[in-house]
Every structure is written in C-alpha cells, then in structure tokens.
Amino acid sequence: MNAKQLLFLATVSAGLLCGPALSTAAVVTDIAIDSAQRTYAAPAPTRVVAPSGIARRFEGETIRVKLSLDAAGQPVEVGLVGSQDVNLVRNLLPAVSQWRFSPALLDGRPVAAQIELPILLVADPSA
C-alpha cells in the first residue's frame, strides 16, 4: 500500500464518525457558559471529506486538529495542534476545511465555536 492509497478516517475515541461520540470528544474552547442559566450543544460533523496523499508514516497516528466554526457549522479556520508537518498541512487541512458540522447551539441558537478534534489516520481497508 502506498501513500496515495492511505485513506483518512476520522476516528474519535471509540466512536467512528458518530455525532454524539465526536461531539463529546471535541474540546470546545471558546464558549463561556453559566451552567445554571444556559444550555450548550456542541457541534457534530455532518459531512467528512477524506484526504489523499497522506504519508504512510502517519498511519495509526492521532493528529489533533483545531477548528474555528462559524454559526452555520462551516470551518473558517483550520490548523494543527503541535505538529506543523508539511505533508499534513498540504493534504489533511484542505480536506478538513471541507467538513461540515451541525452548528453549536447556545440556548437553542446557532453560535460560532472553536473545537479541537483528535483524528486517527488509518489505511483504507478496501485498498
């Protein structure tokens, strides 16, 4: 299997592309909530795009991605936490930029949010 056959699958903890599993694994970093007065629902992925060209050396690695989402659930800023590997920046970040999320909700209203997602890179089992 070569690098072009590697397929990225978002794996979060024990849940794979599962809204509730992803939303509980995502770390929301910008919402301050008075828990006695307000309710918050974390964003969850509604569309995931798999990148191509991820270097084989990243297979099995968990990469942390930080995203700023607008109130519609679209990424407006995507970056890596820690690593700034050129291969990941060139191949992973453009794919994650195409992801779509249900919006974060504060008291039932859509709001912008910043999240961090742990993403496990695995080989495509069909390749």
- Dist CA 6 CA 34 (whole Å): 43
Q: What is the domain partition of the chain in residue ranges?
A: 3-120
Say which residue the tokens 């794996």 belong to: 11
- Dist CA 108 CA 41 (whole Å): 8
Structure tokens at 113: 């949010």
Provide mean pLDDT across the span 16-35: 45
Query: pLDDT digits over 1-25, tens only?
Result: 333 333 333 333 223 333 333 333 4
The predicted model scores a pTM of 0.69
Query: pLDDT digits over 56-96, tens only?
Result: 899 999 999 999 999 999 999 999 998 788 999 999 999 99
